[in-house]
Structure 1
Amino acid sequence: MKKIWSSSILLMLGLMLAGCGNEQSNSGETAEKKTPNNTEPEIMTDNLGNEVEIPDNPKKVLASYLEDYLVALDVTPVAQWSIYDGESIQEYLQADLDGIPLIPHDLPYESVLEYEPDLIIIRDPIEQDMYDQYAQIAPTYVLNSSPTEWRATLEEIGEVLGKEEKAQSVLDSYKEKAKEKAEELAEVVEGESAAAIWMVNNSLFVVHPERSSGVVLYEDLGLEIPEVVSELSSDADWAAISLEELAKMNVDHLFFINSDGPNAEMLEDRLWQNIPAVQNEQVYEFGPETSWLYYGPIASEQVMDNVVESITNRVQ
């Protein structure tokens, strides 16, 4: 079991470190939408240039690794993303996805066929021959928006599903909550810095300030960016950082995603123990099952709650 879990963590690590390598070249574009008249089906042009006939009010949507957006839009997927026969799933969504069957992350043709979706939404560009196979099963739409831009992704999925108003409502609610939480934080830690660190397989990674949970920390909540983080040259969501570099980081609050468990040998290292945030007991630990490693409105809101609760509870 431990070996399988380690393998799943490695796969997750590969996904997180992919950075903008999987970003679409036209990430700033929106889908072209054609609605000739009220009696004809809606046609949308996807990332691959396919003109996709979007079914009206689809009931069995397959959108692997996009379940966060479906849940936010009140859509129940026909199956949910998983790796290694369910050893790793998006745990932070299970309050809404409990009981939803699993599908392998690489979407084997036979598995997709088994669930008989009436619409398939694909997060990243795929080879045309694979697209053609999926399109034989159901209308298949490859997103134009960048996977690192969750707001644009939500808007596009909302458009595909005919839930534009719901998507806008989610965005408006998030914006208002972020404003309130940023003001709440400013009252207790104005001008203080934070960083998110992920430990996996005895290696450390720091979140990019413009990616994933980094956006929540710095853009949404207004925490200061440590100099080491602001100088990152990597475009990956999570950039490798040595323990020596981390020990030199002048950061007030450290959000620590620990995939190695409480007995990780790095936690016994003197360099780790001498980190100012560690000495000041301002390290807030979370497991890999939490939303810190993911994109989406639900993931971002959960991270926001984690940050505010951790800091306010510490300073009270």
Structure 2
Amino acid sequence: MIRSFQERRNKFGLLFIVLLALTMILGACGSKAADTQSSANKAEQGSASEGNTAGSKEKLMTDAMGHKVTIPANPQKVLASYLEDHLAAIGVKPVAQWSVANGIQEYLQTSLNGIPTISYDLPPEAVLSLSPDLIIIGSESQVQKGLYDQYNKIAPTYVLGDAVNKDWRQALLKIGEILNKSEEAKKAISDYDAKAKEAKEKISSAIGTKTAAILWLTQKNFYLVDQTVSSGSVLYGDLGIQPPNLVTDIPEKDRASWNPVTLEKLADLKADYIFLVNSDKGQGADDTLNSPIWKGIPAVKAGHVFEMSRTSSWLYSGVVANQLTIDDAVKSLVK
């Protein structure tokens, strides 16, 4: 969902910081020893065999940090902050949902409506107050400086780790395995792939090889969404839409999840369509979008700008988010 979180921490607003952190340095670390030496010896066989224990029994799994985690037989109060898309896909309601000072994951509220919120940085005292029976963490970086031990004293804590968490399919399958919902996870992915294939054929017939850019406008600054994250991976990967020059021109070693681009540089944008995620709507965006430079961009002049709300799914990733992004793309491009 990569680039250094600290390099960008002082550049952007809170929402940008959190989204960037969670897509660029996804991960977590932790440790929980087995209760008995016998269990520990079995754990050495690896998480694949450990995860095959019947759902009616507790099981021992090895997380991304190599820690042995005893998973309850039937966890009822799961805390999986910023992983709620995966939970929604397999029909699991968390004990609390991720939030920042100015918002929550609005696109998930059909599933999460009424679920209490918890701050994105998971304060241990807030976690304790929820009395979870299982904690799933996405990123190693979220549990540094002793945080894992604090969480693990509250409930068994499993870390997905960067390698898994950056790929929503892998993350969904792993969470399905943890929660005895593997079949549901596999079906969600299969249904998504079928939807993406159908949409790809429709869009290809409608626009051929035309290009599309995804821009995020926040605090009067523009960012190009990379090909590998959130709506970028959907449009350019799953739907086969061609990325524009300003995306492909960025050297791979310099790419970030959200690539800053000046308004002046956007004058060079050769994109047939623009999907604009406007987080400044009603907060000063009118000045930016009324500038002569913006209005002079060919796609803007042609009326080929599709504006998406800051509460849309376009800056998130997961089977639920991606399905909504596909729906938006088809509605915009297929006439």
Tell me if both proteins adopt one fold, taking TM over 0.5 as the criterion: yes
Aligned pairs for 1:248-267 within 5 A:
248-262=268-282, 263-264=284-285, 265-267=287-289
> Could you say which residue in structure 2 is the equivalent of 1:290?
312
Matches within 5 A, 1:182-197: 182-197=200-215
Residue from 44, 60, 63 that aligns with 2:77: 60
Which sits farther off after the overlay, 165-174 or 236-245? 236-245
User: In structure 2, do the counterparts of structure 1 residues 10 and 37 end up closer, same or farther at CA, with 3 Å as the change threshold?
Assistant: closer
Code of the aligned partner of 1:214? G
Match of residue 304 from structure 1: 326
Structure 1 residue corresponding to 2:138, chosen from 113, 123, 130: 123
Give the letter aligned to residue 41 of structure 1.
Answer: E
Q: Answer yes or no: is 1:230 the counterpart of 2:245.
A: no
Q: d(CA) in 2 for partners of 1:275 and 1:235?
A: 23
Which residue of 1 is the match for residue 226 of structure 2? 208
CA distance, structure 2, for counterparts of residue 236 and residue 136 of structure 1: 35
Give the number of equivalent residue pairs.
301
State yes or no: 1:100 paired with 2:103: no
Question: Over residues 46-92 of structure 1, what are the superposed CA-to-partner deviations in whole Å (9 max), with x where a residue is unaligned?
Answer: 122110001112111000011111000100001111122xx310011
Q: Percent identity?
A: 41
- 1:22 is aligned to 2:50: no
CA deviations 1:89-145 (Å, max 9, x no partner) are: 001111111111111111111111111111000011122621111111111001034
- Residue 256 of structure 2: SS of its match in structure 1? coil
Give the one of 159, 180, 186 matched to 1:168.
186
Summarize the Cα distance change of 1:35–1:183 in structure 2 as closer, same or farther, 3 Å threshold. Answer: closer
Q: Matched residues in 2 for 1:205 and 1:59: separation?
A: 40
The answer to whether the Cα contact below 8 Å between 1:196 and 1:256 also exists between their aligned partners in 2 is yes
After TM superposition, the score normalised by the length of structure 1 is 0.89
Q: Normalising to structure 2: TM-score of the pair?
A: 0.84
For 2:178 and 2:219, locate their aligned partners in 1 and report how far apart those are by CA, in whole Å: 39
Letter in 2 for 1:117: P
Q: How does 1:30-179 map to 2 (within 5 A)?
A: 31-34=47-50, 41-84=58-101, 87-125=102-140, 126-127=143-144, 129-144=146-161, 145-179=163-197
1:162/1:36 Cα in 2 relative to 1: closer, same or farther (>3 Å)?
closer
Residue type of the alignment partner of 1:113: L
**What is the DSSP-based 3-state SS (H/G/I as helix, E as strand, rest coil) of the residue aligned with 1:292?**
coil
**Post-superposition offset of 1:31:** 4.7
When residues 301 and 31 of structure 1 are mapped into structure 2, their CA distance, relative to the original with a 3 A threshold, is farther
Contact 2:28–2:139 (Cα < 8 Å) also in 1: no
Q: Deviations over 1:218-265 (max 9, x none)?
A: 111111111210122333211101112212111011000111115421
> For the Cα contact (< 8 Å) 2:95–2:132, is it kept in 1?
yes
Deviation for aligned residue 1:149? 1.1
Residue aligning to 2:15: 12
Residue 300 (structure 2) aligns with: 278
Report the Cα offset of residue 21 of structure 1.
4.7
3-state DSSP of counterpart to 1:159: helix
The alpha carbon displacement at 1:24 in A equals 5.1
Change (3 A) 1:33 1:127: farther
1:243 alignment partner in structure 2: 263
| RMSD after superposition | 2.3
What is the CA deviation profile of residues 4-23 of structure 1, one whole-angstrom value per residue up to 9, with x for unaligned ones?
xxx9x812211333487514
Secondary structure of the corresponding residue to residue 239 of structure 1: strand
Q: String of CA shifts for 1:168-218, please: whole Å, max 9, x gaps.
A: 101100000000000011111011111100001110000001111101111
Counterpart in the other structure of 2:5:
none
Does the CA contact (< 8 Å) of 2:51 and 2:178 recur in 1?
A: no
- The C-alpha deviation readout for 1:138-171, integer Å capped at 9, x for no partner, is 1100103443311111111111111111111011
Moved more, 291-300 or 257-266: 257-266
| Distance change in 2, residues 1:222/1:68 (3 Å) | same
